[in-house]
C-alpha cells in the first residue's frame, strides 16, 4: 500500500482503517483479524473516536479494543492513530469546551494504552463555545505532547477556516462525508454539520493543501448491495459507469470507488483524498483495500468524473 507524507509531516497509508464498530457489532476476534490484514498489506492509519459505537454500547468499546490490540501486537509505534472528541455519548461528552477536551483526551489515552495521539479530531463543530477557547485547548494538548497534530471533522468550510485563523496549532486534516456518488441537494444530514463534501469544499482543501479523509466512502455497502445504498445518494448513470468499469477491470465496484478516490488528486480542483472504511469480514475488507493498488488512466478518471 502506498505511503503518503501529509503536509503536517505524518506518513500514512493511502487508505485509513475505520474502527467504529470494533468491540460492538464487530467481535474482538474479527477486529483483530481485520487489523492484522490491514497492517500486513502495509496499512498504518487507524481511525476511531471516544464515542464509538455508543449507539451499540457504551462508546468505550472501539478505543478499548484498539488498546488491547496495540498491547497484544506491540505495534503502537508503527501506527498513525487518530481519535476524536466532541460528539455526544449517552448524554455526556458533547461539545468542545476546554474542560471537555482536557477530560476526554486523558480518557482516550487510558483506553488506547498510549501516551500520545498522532491526529486528534474535533469530531463536530460546537457553535456554543468560542473558537478561541477550543483551539487554545487543542494547542495546549500539543504543547504537552499528548497530541501531535489536529484535524477537524463535520465543520462547515467557513468555520473550519475561521478555526484555523485563530489557532496557534491549526487543523491540518479534514474528515468529512464523501464517496463516488453525489448527494441529493435537498436532503439534510442527520446531524447539522455532517454535510456531504461539495466541489467548493474540495477546491478549498486543494488551495490550502489539506487532505480529506473520506468517511462513509463505500456508501454503507451500497455499491455491492443496492438495498444498502443510502437514499441521500444519486445512483443513475454515475453508478452504472462505475459498475461497468469495475466489471471490465475484474474488480468490485467498491474497490474501484476506492481507486477513484486515491487517484483523484491528479485532477484539477481536488485535494488528496484518503478513503476511510472498515469491515467485520476480512475477505470483504481485503477486496476493497485492493482498490488502493489500482492506477487509473487520465481517460478513465475523466470518464468517471464526468458520468
Catalytic residues: 52
**DSSP structure class, residue 87:** S
Q: Give the Cα separation of 278 and 218 in Å (integer).
A: 10
Q: Give the Cα separation of 176 and 157 in Å (integer).
A: 10
**DSSP structure class, residue 198:** -
Is residue 105 within 8 A of residue 143, CB to CB? The reply is no
CA distances, 9 to each of 12, 79, 153, 203, 219 (Å): 9, 14, 19, 22, 30
Is residue 152 within 8 A of residue 84, CB to CB? The reply is no
CA distances, 90 to each of 1, 58, 105, 188, 190 (Å): 37, 8, 18, 23, 17
Amino acid at each position: 500500500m502506498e505511503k503518503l507524507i501529509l503536509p503536517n509531516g505524518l506518513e500514512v497509508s493511502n487508505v485509513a482503517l475505520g474502527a467504529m464498530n470494533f468491540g460492538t457489532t464487530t467481535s474482538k476476534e474479527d477486529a483483530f483479524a481485520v487489523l492484522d490484514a490491514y497492517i500486513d498489506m502495509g496499512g498504518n492509519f487507524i481511525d476511531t473516536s471516544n464515542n464509538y459505537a455508543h449507539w451499540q454500547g457504551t462508546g468505550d468499546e472501539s478505543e478499548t479494543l484498539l488498546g488491547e490490540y496495540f498491547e497484544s501486537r506491540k505495534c503502537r509505534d508503527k501506527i498513525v492513530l487518530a481519535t476524536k472528541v466532541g460528539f455526544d455519548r449517552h448524554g455526556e461528552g458533547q461539545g468542545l469546551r476546554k474542560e471537555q477536551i482536557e477530560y476526554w483526551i486523558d480518557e482516550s489515552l487510558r483506553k488506547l494504552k498510549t501516551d500520545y495521539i498522532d491526529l486528534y479530531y474535533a469530531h463536530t463543530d460546537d457553535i456554543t463555545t468560542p473558537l478561541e477557547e477550543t483551539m487554545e485547548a487543542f494547542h495546549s494538548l500539543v504543547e504537552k505532547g499528548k497530541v501531535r497534530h489536529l484535524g477537524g471533522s463535520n465543520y462547515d468550510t467557513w468555520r473550519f477556516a475561521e478555526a484555523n485563523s485563530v489557532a496557534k496549532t491549526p487543523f491540518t486534516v479534514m474528515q468529512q462525508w464523501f464517496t463516488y456518488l453525489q448527494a441529493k441537494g435537498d436532503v439534510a444530514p442527520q446531524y447539522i454539520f455532517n454535510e456531504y463534501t461539495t466541489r467548493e469544499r474540495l477546491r478549498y482543501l486543494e488551495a490550502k493543501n489539506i487532505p480529506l479523509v473520506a468517511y462513509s466512502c463505500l456508501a454503507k455497502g451500497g455499491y455491492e448491495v443496492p438495498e444498502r445504498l443510502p437514499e441521500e445518494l444519486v445512483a443513475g448513470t454515475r453508478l452504472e459507469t462505475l459498475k461497468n468499469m469495475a466489471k471490465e477491470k475484474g474488480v468490485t465496484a467498491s474497490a474501484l470507488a476506492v481507486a477513484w478516490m486515491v487517484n483523484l488528486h491528479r485532477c484539477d480542483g481536488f485535494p488528496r483524498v484518503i478513503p476511510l472504511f472498515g469491515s467485520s469480514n476480512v475477505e470483504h475488507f481485503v477486496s476493497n483495500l485492493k482498490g488502493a493498488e489500482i492506477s487509473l488512466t487520465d481517460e478513465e478518471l475523466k470518464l468517471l468524473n464526468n458520468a
